Structure 1
Amino acid sequence: MVWLGVCSKGVTPLVILDKATIKHARYIQEGLPVALKYENQVFGDDWIFQQDGARPHTYDLTQQWCKGNFPAFIDKDHWSPDSPDLNHLDYSIWDEFVHVINWDKVKSKATLIQELKRAVKNIQEEVVFESCNSWTNRLYRLSTNDFGYLR
């Protein structure tokens, strides 16, 4: 498993979570502090944290941690649980990420991790910016579609 955050200014450092199933405690300990540090460095205290509906994200202790640590946070009760059309990673960044990986170099878990770390640095800034820029339009289109999937 890997964790990655995205915003209009770029992508967070990649977090490799390779030793066990990801549950809320590991997510709180290893993923969320990276998001907090990165976003505070980039935006100061003027930003909103959004995550998808994965179980570690919606767990009560995760929600409490986010409310207590982020300057603003869209909690699970105010976010569509099936929101790939509103998650930059789902509709744009993961695709870009897998295209910059040199799959010929991946021969083992160790080489996969090396390639993931290299590839995240090569995600095109324009792709990140455009995916974030389209967010408001996507939100509007979903609102007019009863928050069903976009086609």
Structure 2
Amino acid sequence: GLKVNTAIYIPEALDGPVGEWEALCLPAGLGSRPQNLPYHWSPDLWPPSSPDCNPLDYFFWGMVENKTSKHAHNTLDSLRAAIVEEFANMKKDVVAKACGRFRHRLEMVVAADGGYIEK
């Protein structure tokens, strides 16, 4: 898969609606483009590629995969439709509970100094 880093993320995130918001709402010189990053931010502050830090990775994809692989899909369209249906029918309380664990998971990653955390 694609490893997302600042070279990928900054243009994707800031050249769309976020970039427009930034231009409208932030005083000149306070944007988040790389040249405006504080001098004390080093490249190692970029978050690691950790599934522990992403609710889609640590919960949602696993749940959707479990539900959509209960029967075989003969076509990519069939699989895609099943995935879309599972996300569309996901209960709000399930989403809220998974996202509610996000801060705790980030705290566990920080406590592990960025290393592996037990589930």
Q: TM-score when scaled to structure 1?
A: 0.51
RMSD: 2.8
| Residues 61 and 142 (structure 1), Cα distance of their counterparts in 2 relative to 1, 3 Å cut | closer
Pick the structure with greater CA Rg. Answer: 2
| d(CA) in 2 for partners of 1:136, 1:62 | 22
- Number of residues of Structure 1 aligned to a counterpart in Structure 2: 96
1:122 CA displacement: 2.1
- Please say if 1:79 is aligned against 2:46: yes
CA deviation map 1:52-91 (0-9, x unaligned):
xx43x32625422313442688x9x443223211100111
Could you say what secondary structure the match of 1:100 adopts? helix
**Alignment-mate amino acid for residue 56 of structure 2:** L
Q: TM-score when scaled to structure 2?
A: 0.63
More strand by share: 1
For 2:13, the equivalent position in structure 1 comes to: 66
Alignment equivalent of 2:101, drawn from 134, 140, 144: 134
More helix by share: 2
- Please say if 1:143 is aligned against 2:110: yes
CA deviation map 1:16-64 (0-9, x unaligned):
xxxxxx8xxxxxxxxxxxxxxxxxxxxxxxxxxxxxxx43x32625422
1:19-98 aligned at under 5 Å gives the runs 54-55=2-3, 57-58=4-5, 60-68=7-15, 69-70=17-18, 77=43, 78-98=45-65
